[in-house]
Amino acid sequence: MDFYFFHLMPWPYLPDDYEQTYDSAWVTLPNTLYDPVRGHELYSRYLDELELADAMGFDGICVNEHHQSAWGTMPSPNVMAGALARRTKRAKICILGNAIPLREHPLRVAEEVAMIDVISGGRVVSGFVRGIGAEYHTFGMDPSESRERFIEAHDLIVRAWSEPGPFSFEGTYYRQRHVNIWPRPIQRPHPPIWIPSQGSGETIAWAAERRYTYMQNSTPAARIKVFYDEYRQRARQAGYESTAQQLGWAVPVYVSDTDAHAREEAWPHIDYYFNKLLRMPQQLWFPPGYLTDESERRVLAAKRGYTAGPRTLEDVERDALVIMGSPASVCEQLEHWYKELGYGVLIAFLQFGTLPSELTRRNMDLFVREVMPRIRPLGASPAAA
Amino acid sequence: VRVLRSGSGPPLVYLDVVTPESACWLTIHDLLAARFDVVVPVLPVGSFELKAPRSVRDLAILARDLIDSLRLADVTIVGSSLGGWVAADLATSCSHGLAGLALLGALGLPPAPGAAPDVFAVSAEDAASLFFRRPDDVPPEHADGISVAEQVRGRVKLMARLGWNPYLHDPLLASRLHRIDVATSVIWGAEDRLLPSVQAEGFAGAIPGARSRIIAGAGHLVAIDRPAETGAAIVEGR
């Protein structure tokens, strides 16, 4: 098992009247609620936590991209990855991911990620995402072109990294007569590519065919099994057996001395994470054309209730949307889901919602000392599932 | 291209852009069929995955080809909503053989900043009230088995495909409207909440000789909310 420390860099200072006054933490939440002075303190704290994770022995530290949202305050993950590249020494720096169809020109992503790969001495993992539906509202990009732009942007970036330049690229959305990026990435032929997804069938098939690590976010564990099975099936159709290292599970984890303490300590922050930061009307999540009709049915079934109405502690425990408890209990849950799902990459959100610095650090410490050693051997052999 | 056709008299092509499942013969078509040979193309916009047509211009060319292949001479074109945009585009680029043009709540011109809601960012229930004056009162015969909610969903998806950004308009259309040299009526629902009726002035002011008619008690889909008044305005406009 590989362990990755993931940070969303959430905004923890939503006002008391947030739920009465605003319908979403995305797109339309007024940015007057963002206080740049507190933002400075938060960035310092959050970057410290990522750097600590490197020092503590996580295999990787992860940042991601979201726009106009209190959910995550990293519109540019590459800025954060750049900051981490010089301050960390060992961990992979995972950008999960760049929302490549949202860029007017994806070559800029190829350049920035190559820069970070060179600065960090070849430690970058490059995730690519389409960006969630809300971000198509943010940028005015046409959601019905999103998938085609994603694939074309990916093709251009991978070619720019791996093929000798200059060469020309003629696509439907991107055309460039001279592709010839300086610098090139250190890792050959290019940095590892991961694909975080909400479970669209097209994305699963596409990732499996290319042997990219598939990472499932924010989905009830029972549904994740369906998606992983589909990935394994698609891999077989492509002529190979996928390994557990190709299947990443991204989930908030909270460890305390007892199950009762874990629930008691984590719940207010989990509540904030699910019931405040994830509040978003359906039409913002999935603008018309963002999903194909078939994927719309699948994803909406997988996420049923995810954005509708408050989630209770029982909900999130039942669906394994959060793993929490004593060290022994967290290990049991991770082992159970390993047997069920066959994941080999655990992308743990050890900070979530309003979880303060002290609890985050204690959570990290318990996780590294009490959970990591016991779970580490799992997935060393081909997946059980 | 499949067409619905009935009536006798000079030809009239009625353009609306709806999903094929939602395409049906409406009360307004019946009213017009008393005076015209009414042709309602079921435009092949197909499932949402279908790539073409990707533009209003594609649909305008398709409609022009249909008129030519059916050998419709001196044809009146009526276009509603997205179909009004298609009709305006057709009339600005290849208006030969047209006898009249009626634009009903036509998209295509930029709404004044802040004057129109973002149809892509409202809930399904709210979207219905942007199209119909009272969604609950939409006559069932028009729906042909498709619920109002499903029809609205289809319309919003097609609008997103053809008019996500720039929002429901073509920045160059206004500069071409002067080329329309056929009798034109601009007809709008007084209670259009998708695009307020002030939009009618944009078309009527730019198309030489065009007249505008605001229909009381009608929303964006003026011909469905008020078929008799809309039909009369189309006939008077010729």
DSSP structure string for A147-169: HHHHHHHHHHHHHHHHSPSPEEE
- The CB-side HSE value for A281 (13 A sphere, CA atoms) comes to 16
Reduced to 3 states (helix: H, G, I; strand: E, B; else coil), residue A348 is strand
Q: Pairing mode, if any, of strands A213-217 and A193-197?
A: parallel
User: What is the percent of chain A with per-residue pLDDT over 70, rounded to a whole number?
Assistant: 97
Taking contacts as CB-CB distances below 8 angstroms, the residues of chain A near B124 are 282-283
Query: A117 or A294: whose pLDDT is higher?
Result: A117
pLDDT classification of A302: cutoffs 50, 70, 90: low
pLDDT over 60 (residue A16): yes
Least CA distance to B126: which residue of chain A? A283
What pLDDT, on the 0 to 100 scale, is given for residue A384? 43
What pLDDT, on the 0 to 100 scale, is given for residue A385? 42
Determine which of A244-258, B67-81, B132-146 has the lowest per-residue pLDDT on average. B132-146
* Cα A41 from Cα A46, distance rounded (Å): 9
The DSSP H or E segment spanning B31 is helix B27-33
Selected residues 25-84 of chain A with any CB under 8 Å from a CB in chain B = 27
What pLDDT, on the 0 to 100 scale, is given for residue B113? 85
Chain B CB within 8 Å of residue A300 CB: no
Determine which of A47-51, A220-224, B88-92 has the lowest per-residue pLDDT on average. A220-224
Query: A209 or A295: whose pLDDT is higher?
Result: A209
For residue B211, the distance in angstroms to the closest alpha carbon of chain A comes to 34
- Facing A289 at nearest CB: one of B48, B123, B124: B48
Cβ contacts of A295 within 8 Å, gap of 6 or more: A200, A201, A202
What pLDDT, on the 0 to 100 scale, is given for residue B138? 80
What pLDDT, on the 0 to 100 scale, is given for residue A383? 43
pLDDT classification of A57: cutoffs 50, 70, 90: very high
* Cα A174 from Cα A250, distance rounded (Å): 32
Taking contacts as CB-CB distances below 8 angstroms, the residues of chain A near B49 are 292-293
B53-85 burial: b if 16+ Cβ within 10 Å, else e: beebebbbbbbbebbeebebeebbbbbbbbbbb
Task: Answer whether A292 sits within 8 Å of B49, measured CB to CB.
Answer: yes
Work out the average pLDDT over A272-278. 95
What pLDDT, on the 0 to 100 scale, is given for residue B165? 93
Work out the average pLDDT over A79-95. 98
For residue B143, the distance in angstroms to the closest alpha carbon of chain A comes to 21
Work out the average pLDDT over B55-66. 93
pLDDT over 60 (residue B216): yes
Residue in B15, B178, B20, B37 with CA at minimum distance from that of residue B102 = B15
* Cα B65 from Cα B86, distance rounded (Å): 13
| CA–CA distances in Å: residue A371 to residues A50, A162, A323, A332, A335 | 18, 38, 12, 10, 11
What pLDDT, on the 0 to 100 scale, is given for residue B52? 60
For tokens 């070559």, name the residue: A107
Query: What pTM did the predictor assign?
Result: 0.91
Residue in A95, A334, A316 with CA at minimum distance from that of residue A193 = A95
* Cα A377 from Cα A2, distance rounded (Å): 9
Work out the average pLDDT over A347-354. 98
Over chain B, what is the mean pLDDT? 91
Task: Answer whether B49 sits within 8 Å of A284, measured CB to CB.
Answer: no
Say how many residues make up chain A. Answer: 385
Work out the average pLDDT over A292-300. 75
A141-185 tens-digit pLDDT: 999 899 999 999 999 999 999 999 999 999 999 999 999 999 999
Chain A CB within 8 Å of residue B160 CB: yes
A188-207 tens-digit pLDDT: 999 999 999 988 888 999 99
Least CA distance to B167: which residue of chain A? A140
pLDDT classification of A7: cutoffs 50, 70, 90: very high
The ipTM assigned to this model is 0.83
- Name residue B67's amino acid: I
* Cα A50 from Cα B52, distance rounded (Å): 47
Chain B CB within 8 Å of residue A142 CB: yes
pLDDT classification of B54: cutoffs 50, 70, 90: confident
What pLDDT, on the 0 to 100 scale, is given for residue B46? 62
Task: Answer whether A284 sits within 8 Å of B121, measured CB to CB.
Answer: yes
For residue B8, the distance in angstroms to the closest alpha carbon of chain A comes to 39
Chain B CB within 8 Å of residue A281 CB: yes
What pLDDT, on the 0 to 100 scale, is given for residue B114? 87
Task: Answer whether A288 sits within 8 Å of B124, measured CB to CB.
Answer: no
User: What is the percent of chain A with per-residue pLDDT over 90, rounded to a whole number?
Assistant: 87
pLDDT over 80 (residue A293): no
User: What is the percent of chain B with per-residue pLDDT over 70, rounded to a whole number?
Assistant: 94
For residue A234, the distance in angstroms to the closest alpha carbon of chain B comes to 22
Taking contacts as CB-CB distances below 8 angstroms, the residues of chain B near A140 are 164-165
Cβ contacts of A204 within 8 Å, gap of 6 or more: A197, A214, A227, A230, A231, A234
Q: Pairing mode, if any, of strands A175-179 and A167-170?
A: antiparallel
The DSSP H or E segment spanning B42 is strand B37-42
Chain B CB within 8 Å of residue A379 CB: no
Task: Answer whether B47 sits within 8 Å of A143, measured CB to CB.
Answer: no
Task: Answer whether B160 sits within 8 Å of A281, measured CB to CB.
Answer: no
* Cα A347 from Cα A3, distance rounded (Å): 6
CB atoms under 10 Å from CB of A299, counted, come to: 23
Over chain A, what is the mean pLDDT? 94
Distance of CA A377 to the CA centre of its chain: 24
Using a 10 angstrom Cβ sphere, with 0-12 exposed, 13-18 middle and 19 or more buried, the burial of residue B93 is middle
DSSP character at residue A184 = P
